[in-house]
Amino acid sequence: MNGREGNVRYRNLVNSVKNEYLLPQTRKLEKCHIAARVVYTIRKYNGRFLKFDNATGYWYEIGDKAAFRKTGQALREGAPDVRNMLAGSEGEEDRSGIENGSTTATQQQKEVTPLKSEEVRDQCAV
């Protein structure tokens, strides 16, 4: 599963914005926006967030709210190591990501339209 093209693309996209997500000055709502950008980038190019149902033997779409949670968790994976790396490169702040030209983000990923706060707030509400 992890080697599938869509999963690899998802992990690359998550890794391209992880530094921005984990910066100390990034606030909660901004983190929701980052996760939402990842989800909407995947969806914009016909990607889906699927879960396997053992009872039926079918895959099903988990929806935006669960996709935001899944993406937020993926963005937090390895956080202590990333934060240590960021702390070690003080003065060289790297706010890489989809919108500002990360070397790992593709041109398609940079074309995502900005989201309205209300759209994200509705989906990120805990």
- Token readout for 124 is 């990120």
**Percent of the chain having pLDDT more than 70?**
70
DSSP state of 125: -
pLDDT of residue 115: 54
- Token readout for 26 is 């990034």
pLDDT along the chain (126 residues), means of 10: 87 93 91 95 94 95 95 90 77 47 42 53 57
* Global confidence as pTM: 0.69
Can you tell me the distance from the alpha carbon of 40 to that of 80, in angstroms, rounded to the nearest whole number?
27
- Token readout for 117 is 């706060």
pLDDT of residue 38: 96
Structure confidence by residue, pLDDT tens digits, 88-102: 776 554 444 454 334
- Token readout for 58 is 């079918």
